């Protein structure tokens, strides 16, 4: 099943094409504690673009999604709580990601394989991108996240700029539809439960 944060397997780098100016700032950098502070918290899955047919199909099934990252710096893991809306139903998933500090990737072990995603931080700290299969033009993909379900035009343009670096056109982008979110109730319930746990 598709994960909004990672839908493809990624092998070793060559990173983004540095020919154009807009591309020069976009490279995967090693992950540090500061990176983790920046990505901790609640995020919305906004849009993605996948060329690999299987991953594309998975991404198409996700109507909307949001999730919480809770990094553990000493352990090198990130607790992930995902709320996906698939076929008008809320699907909740709890898992852990592994951090590869040096090569700037996060990974998840699923269906007998480790899936890697490059974390690309953007100029705007309220957004970021996961990039997949960058070395493979036929299977290249990326997904875009923001701290709001409906980012500004400026934020979207930054994402489109990175897409352009990779030679992916806007027409290949799939957008999520926040109006379809079915997870409000479940999130509220979980918040209540956590609050009660903290109190007791
Ligand atoms: C939830 O996570 C499990 C384990 O990682 C995975 O097998 C399953 O496909 C995931 N479900 C969704 C909807 O992502
Ligand atoms: C990242 O580093 C880990 C070891 O820290 C290695 O197992 C993994 O294959 C590397 N992944 C990539 C995509 O370079
Ligand atoms: C690259 O990053 C620097 C420093 O953050 C910034 O001043 C500059 O405008 C960026 N260039 C582009 C093309 O985004
Ligand atoms: C990152 O944070 C952990 C936990 O707070 C700490 O043990 C570690 O020394 C920090 N690493 C760096 C490079 O500051
Ligand atoms: C992080 O992981 C360590 C080692 O498993 C554990 O002792 C610690 O409580 C964890 N910290 C948080 C904030 O969950």
Give me the CATH number covering residue 63.
Answer: 2.40.128.20
In a domain, 105, yes or no: yes
Does residue 72 have its Cβ closer than 6 Å to ligand 5?
Answer: yes
In a domain, 12, yes or no: no
In a domain, 6, yes or no: no
Tell me the pLDDT band of 184, cut-offs 50, 70 and 90: very high
Q: What is the DSSP letter of 150?
A: S
- Rounded-to-integer distance, Cα 181 and Cα 64, Å: 6
In a domain, 49, yes or no: yes
Tell me the pLDDT band of 52, cut-offs 50, 70 and 90: confident
Rounded to an integer, the average pLDDT of 25-42 is: 89
pTM of the model: 0.84
pLDDT at 25 (0 to 100): 61
pLDDT at 124 (0 to 100): 92
In a domain, 19, yes or no: no
- The structural domain count of the chain equals 1
Element (H, E) at 95: strand 89-100
In a domain, 178, yes or no: yes
Tell me the pLDDT band of 115, cut-offs 50, 70 and 90: confident
Contact yes or no for 124/25 (Cβ under 8 A): no
Pocket mutation for ligand 4, best pick of 30, 33, 71, 102 (most atoms within 8 Å of C-beta)? 33
In a domain, 9, yes or no: no
Bridge partners (DSSP) of residue 71 are 78
Rounded to an integer, the average pLDDT of 44-48 is: 97
In a domain, 14, yes or no: no
Contact yes or no for 133/117 (Cβ under 8 A): no
Does residue 91 have its Cβ closer than 6 Å to ligand 1?
Answer: yes
Contact yes or no for 127/151 (Cβ under 8 A): yes
Nearest-Å Rg of the Cα atoms of the chain is 16
pLDDT at 15 (0 to 100): 42
Q: Containing domain of residue 87, as a range?
A: 26-199
> Which atom of ligand 1 sits closest to the CA of residue 82?
14
Does residue 72 have its Cβ closer than 6 Å to ligand 4?
Answer: no
Q: Of 3, 30, 5, 4, nearest to 15 (Cα)?
A: 30
């Amino acid at each position: 099943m598709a994960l909004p944060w990672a839908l493809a397997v990624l092998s070793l780098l060559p990173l983004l094409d540095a020919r154009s100016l807009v591309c020069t700032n976009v490279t995967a950098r090693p992950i540090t504690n500061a990176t983790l502070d920046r990505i901790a918290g609640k995020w919305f899955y906004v849009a993605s673009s996948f060329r690999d047919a299987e991953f594309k199909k998975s991404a198409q099934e996700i109507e909307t999604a949001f999730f919480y990252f809770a990094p553990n710096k000493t352990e090198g893991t990130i607790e992930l709580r995902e709320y996906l809306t698939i076929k008008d139903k809320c699907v909740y998933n709890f898992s852990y990601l592994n951090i590869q500090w040096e090569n700037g990737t996060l990974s998840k072990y699923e269906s007998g394989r480790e899936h890697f995603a490059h974390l690309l931080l953007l100029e705007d700290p309220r957004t970021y991108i996961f990039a997949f299969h960058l070395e493979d033009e036929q299977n290249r993909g990326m997904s875009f996240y923001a701290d709001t379900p409906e980012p500004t035009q400026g934020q979207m343009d930054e994402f489109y700029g990175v897409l352009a670096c990779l030679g992916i056109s806007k027409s290949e982008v799939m957008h999520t539809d926040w109006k379809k979110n079915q997870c409000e109730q479940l999130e509220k319930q979980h918040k209540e439960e956590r609050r009660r746990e903290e109190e007791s």
